[in-house]
């Protein structure tokens, strides 16, 4: 019999399960609170449950708990990067960033990725599997436990494509924001996608309060086809239509990510084209100097060219900021730590 993954269950599902075990109605709330508010890692810590129930829960299921395979702390800005090992031995990355307004956690949604963006390290080994809701929740809980810090906001911008793991991500968000759980408002959550248009429409129907982030990275199909294979399935025009529909239906301003790659998408004509593309859309552009990934051979442009790109967008009426880099001394680009650890393991 497969074991039950308790941490992936909503309160309603847990109520049904414990009801079937013949438990009184209040038990589910107790277990849920231990898992998601107190965030314990063992049944033995659930001290208000009868011993017999603790034993039965342990026999029939498990609590997802990540092992810390590696932890790096930036000397420059205190950014903490975790390589977490999952029950099946796979590893994922989670990054805790400290800002004045609170700590932000960047979490992974899949082991690997199949989107194939050619500047990204996460996709080099392809997709291994989706993360479960409990594995995503445990990224948050383990990061809090291991750092002693409270997580105030979450970005789904680590390894993986969240809209390619739609149902588990939705279940994760439901548990994360539940008042009986960690109770984190979705206003403090950003979900980033490379542009899976069908997923954007599915997300739109949920009318969640989260911020949708689009990894655009190119102002036209010619460049985007070269760097992001997803563009061959959903081109720039289709993506932009989905974004406009998303805003119309949800009223939530969209955030666009644009990684500046020297000589590829950072020329003055690219800024002009990007401004024209986004004209009239309530949005914000995050410019990110591309993180050079060894296998990819891309370089970032000069500091001046990045500033020029930003100024040009602003002049054309597009709200744009250059993202402050954090953790540059600890290999913070997504997928790089996991990849380095895998390569070391192969060499052993």
Is 342 annotated in the active site? no
Strand partners, 127: 112
Binding string, residues 225-264; x marks residues near ligand SAH by CB under 6 A: --------------------------------x-x-----
- Answer for which of 74, 134, 192, 211 binds ligand SAH (CB under 6 A) is 192
Q: Is the dihedral of CA 131, 94, 154, 40 positive or negative?
A: positive
Q: Which stretch binds ligand SAH (CB under 6 A): 50-58, 76-84, 113-121, 138-146?
A: 113-121
First CA to last CA across the chain, in angstroms?
36
Q: What does the alpha-carbon distance between residue 174 and residue 185 come to, in Å, rounded to a whole number?
A: 10
Q: Which stretch binds ligand SAH (CB under 6 A): 41-49, 75-83, 114-122, 127-135?
A: 114-122
Closest CA relative to residue 323, chosen from 213, 208, 227? 213
Q: Are 83 and 93 in contact (CB under 8 A)?
A: yes
Main-chain phi, psi angles of 22, to 5 degrees: 80, 20
Q: Toward ligand SAH, which CB reaches closer, 91 or 290?
A: 290
The helix/strand/coil state of 5 is strand
Q: Which stretch binds ligand SAH (CB under 6 A): 10-18, 69-77, 137-145, 189-197?
A: 189-197
Q: Is 120 in the site for ligand SAH (CB under 6 A)?
A: yes
Q: Is 218 in the site for ligand SAH (CB under 6 A)?
A: no
Q: What does the alpha-carbon distance between residue 151 and residue 94 come to, in Å, rounded to a whole number?
A: 12
Is 243 annotated in the active site? no
Question: DSSP assignment, residue 132?
Answer: P
Q: Is 124 in the site for ligand SAH (CB under 6 A)?
A: no
- Answer for which of 9, 65, 175, 290 binds ligand SAH (CB under 6 A) is 290
Side-chain-facing half-sphere of 341: CA atoms under 13 Å: 20
Q: Toward ligand SAH, which CB reaches closer, 8 or 192?
A: 192
Q: Are 113 and 161 in contact (CB under 8 A)?
A: yes
Q: What does the alpha-carbon distance between residue 310 and residue 314 come to, in Å, rounded to a whole number?
A: 6
The two tokens of residue 300 are: 């970032």
- Answer for which of 117, 137, 264, 332 binds ligand SAH (CB under 6 A) is 117
Strand partners, 151: 103
Q: Which among 93, 135, 138, 257 is annotated as catalytic?
A: 93
Whole-number minimum distance, CB 75 to ligand SAH, in Å? Answer: 22
Q: Which stretch binds ligand SAH (CB under 6 A): 24-32, 187-195, 304-312, 324-332?
A: 187-195
Whole-number minimum distance, CB 171 to ligand SAH, in Å? Answer: 18
The strand pair at 80-85 and 91-99 is best described as antiparallel
- Answer for which of 17, 127, 157, 243 binds ligand SAH (CB under 6 A) is 157
Q: Is 334 in the site for ligand SAH (CB under 6 A)?
A: yes
Residues designated as active site: 93, 334
- Residues making contact with ligand SAH (CB under 6 A): 115, 117, 119-120, 157, 161, 192-194, 215, 217, 257, 259, 288, 290-291, 293, 333-334
């Amino acid at each position: 019999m497969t074991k039950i993954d308790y941490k992936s269950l909503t309160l309603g599902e847990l109520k049904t399960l414990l009801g079937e075990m013949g438990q009184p109605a209040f038990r589910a709330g107790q277990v849920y609170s231990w898992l998601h508010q107190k965030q314990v890692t063992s049944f033995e810590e659930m001290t208000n449950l009868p011993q017999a129930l603790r034993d039965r829960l342990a026999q029939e299921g498990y609590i997802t708990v990540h092992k810390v395979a590696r932890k790096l702390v930036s000397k420059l800005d205190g950014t903490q990067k975790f390589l977490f090992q999952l029950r099946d031995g796979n590893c994922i990355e989670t990054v805790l960033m400290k800002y004045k307004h609170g700590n932000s956690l960047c979490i992974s949604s899949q082991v690997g990725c199949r989107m194939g963006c050619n500047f990204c390290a996460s996709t080099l080994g392809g997709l291994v599997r989706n993360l479960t809701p409990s594995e995503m929740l445990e990224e948050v809980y383990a990061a809090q436990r291991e750092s002693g810090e409270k997580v105030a906001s979450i970005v789904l911008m680590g390894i993986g494509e969240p809209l390619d793991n739609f149902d588990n991500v939705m279940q994760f968000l439901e548990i994360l924001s539940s008042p009986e759980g960690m109770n984190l408002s979705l206003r403090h959550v950003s979900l980033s996608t490379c542009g899976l248009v069908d997923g954007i429409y599915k997300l739109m129907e949920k009318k969640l309060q989260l911020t949708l982030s689009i990894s655009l990275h190119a102002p036209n199909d010619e460049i985007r086809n070269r760097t992001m294979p997803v563009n061959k399935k959903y081109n720039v025009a289709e993506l932009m239509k989905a974004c406009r529909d998303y805003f119309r239906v949800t009223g939530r301003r969209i955030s666009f990510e644009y990684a500046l790659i020297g000589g590829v998408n950072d020329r003055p004509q690219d800024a002009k084209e990007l401004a024209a593309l986004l004209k009239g859309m309530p949005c914000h552009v995050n410019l990110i100097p591309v993180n050079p990934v060894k296998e990819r051979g891309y370089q970032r442009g000069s500091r001046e060219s990045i500033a020029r790109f930003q100024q040009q967008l602003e002049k054309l009426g597009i709200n744009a900021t250059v993202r402050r880099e954090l953790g540059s001394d600890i290999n913070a680009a997504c997928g790089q730590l996991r990849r380095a650890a895998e390569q070391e393991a192969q060499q052993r």
